[in-house]
Amino acid sequence: MVGPITIDPIDRFENLYEENPETACWEWTACKNEDGYGLFFNGETIVRAHVWGYEYHRDEVPREMELDHLCRSRSCVNPRHLEIVTHKENMFRARDKSRRSHCKKGHEFSPENVYVYNIKGRIDRIDRRCRTCMKEYQRDYYFKVTKKKTEETKCRVA
């Protein structure tokens, strides 16, 4: 007797997103709901893809808790871009627009401008940075270093 071909959910899951090399987001390529969250058939029922991925790779999400996309891309299923928060905190963050949507210098935290990273030495903790600020910082640093080098050379030559 030939039964239905069963594919392990994780094998299907791995084929349903594409990693964005720029943002490291795992962008869901399959069906999404009207809010833009990926939908996934876990073998029994349809669930939200980012929640399923988080629970598979990281930890169970308790009933009263929610997952917040630090990268601000709802279709992203990268568990490293998701932070577990209470419903209250999630609502508060959504309302607290100034902190939530812009960096200290006022650059918008658009999905393209957010850099999500692991806090050093704490694999379970993530935070985010503004890419525009990072670029500005790198540029300033580059100018400082090259300027210093030029001056040093001048001094030696003289």
Binding site for Zn ion (CB under 5 A): 25, 71, 73, 76, 78, 81, 103, 105, 107, 130, 132-133
Q: What is the H or E stretch that residue 121 is in?
A: none
Rounded least distance, CB 70 to Zn ion, Å: 7
Rounded least distance, CB 85 to Zn ion, Å: 16
Phi-psi region at 137: left, alpha or beta (left = phi > 0; alpha = psi -120 to 50): alpha
Nearer to Zn ion, 126 or 133 (CB): 133
60: which strand partners? none
**Taking the CB of residue 125, how many other CB atoms lie within 10 A of it?**
11
Rounded least distance, CB 95 to Zn ion, Å: 21
Nearer to Zn ion, 105 or 122 (CB): 105
Q: How far apart are CA 75 and CA 50, in angstroms?
A: 8
Rounded least distance, CB 105 to Zn ion, Å: 4
Nearer to Zn ion, 47 or 133 (CB): 133
Token look-up 């833009």 returns 36
Q: How far apart are CA 44 and CA 41, in angstroms?
A: 7
Nearer to Zn ion, 9 or 111 (CB): 111
- CB under 8 Å to 41, separation ≥6 — which residues? 9, 12, 47
